[in-house]
Amino acid sequence: MSVDTIQSNKLKLLGKLTASLLHEIRNPLSAIMLNLDLIKYYNSELPPEVIESVDDCQKATERIEDLIQNLLQYARRSNNETDWISINDITRQAINLLIIRASKRSIDLKIELDDSVPKVLLNENKFLQVILNLISNAIDASHNKNSVVVRTLSSVIDEKQFVIWEVKDNGVGIAETDQQKIFEDFFTSKPDGTGLGLPVCKSLLEEMNAKLNFSSKLGVGSTFTISFPANNN
């Protein structure tokens, strides 16, 4: 057995252990959350300092819950079924899921979908997960009342045809020193971020034979681009 195989078996085992540990943590965590809810129910009988510390505990437990959720998604080897899918349809689904979150900050989610892009062979859920993270990141980076534009198009690069999915924001942008770090596990600039969004996107897209690139300028904004090789079927 080669060193690489042993290494990859160890990683698989570690992944399984992590997933089961996370499930185990979840049960007591739910109990804590329920009890905190119960304490909050007696709000009017409690001094304000206690209410404040219960609020802090609730925020902390929600953060643990989010972390677990993301780690589980990261560890999980979900089904790998692929299909010929319209990326325009999945984009519309993603926009519907995020529109309320954007409108709370008066951010306009614009879509410019090219009806003629060919269908792509991919796993629908994984692609939805990827673009939900990319559009969420764009919303998070945007200033209130900005627009975020999501586009699809076909493009020919070096005589090969590609299907392109792109999200563009005019938000805070990414400092040059951070640009190499954003795909690292756990790199985040957000108080409630896990920093697993982009590494997960990258590995899911690699499974789907697609590439993820970005360009960004601090103070100007960012564009994240997915390119699929078009198979002309």
Q: Does 166 help bind ligand ATP (rule: CB under 6 A)?
A: no
Residue 141 partner contact from ligand ATP, Mg ion, none using kind-dependent CB cut-offs of 5 to 8 Å: ligand ATP
DSSP the chain: --HHHHHHHHHHHHHHHHHHHHHHHHHHHHHHHHHHHHHHHTGGGS-HHHHHHHHHHHHHHHHHHHHHHHHHHHH-------EEE-HHHHHHHHHHHHHHHHHTTT-EEEEE--TTPPPEEE-HHHHHHHHHHHHHHHHHHSPTT-EEEEEEEEEEETTEEEEEEEEEE-SS---HHHHTTTTSTT---STT--S-HHHHHHHHHHHTT-EEEEEEETTTEEEEEEEEE----
From candidates 133, 146, 152, 225, binder to ligand ATP by CB under 6 A: 133
Residue count, binding to ligand ATP (CB under 6 A): 22
Q: Of the candidates 174, 210, 212, 226, which one interacts with ligand ATP according to CB under 6 A? A: 174
Q: Minimum Å distance from CB 92 to ligand ATP?
A: 20
Tell the smallest beta-carbon distance from residue 118 to ligand ATP (Å). 27
Q: Which residues contact 151 (CB under 8 A, 6 or more apart)?
A: 111, 112, 113, 114, 164, 165, 166, 167, 168
- CA atoms within a 13 Å half-sphere pointing along the CA-CB vector of 135: 30
* Contact of residue 215 among ligand ATP, Mg ion, none (CB under 5-8 Å per partner type): none
Q: At its nearest, how many Å lie between ligand ATP and the CB of residue 47?
A: 34
For the CA atoms of 183, 185, 187, 190, what is the dihedral angle to 10 degrees?
110
Contact status: 51 vs ligand ATP (CB under 6 A): no
- Give yes or no for residue 152 binding ligand ATP (CB under 6 A): no
CB of residue 50 to ligand ATP, shortest distance in Å: 30
Candidates 43-51, 53-61, 122-130, 169-177: pick the segment binding ligand ATP (CB under 6 A): 169-177
Does 171 engage in binding with Mg ion (CB under 5 A)? no
196 touches, from Mg ion, ligand ATP, none (C-beta below 5 to 8 Å by class) = ligand ATP
At closest approach, how far in Å is the CB of 202 from Mg ion?
A: 12
What residues numbered 190-209 form the site for Mg ion, per CB under 5 A? 197
Which residues are at the interface with ligand ATP (CB under 6 A)?
A: 70, 133, 137-138, 141, 169, 171-174, 182, 187-190, 193-198, 222
Which residues are at the interface with Mg ion (CB under 5 A)?
A: 133, 137, 197
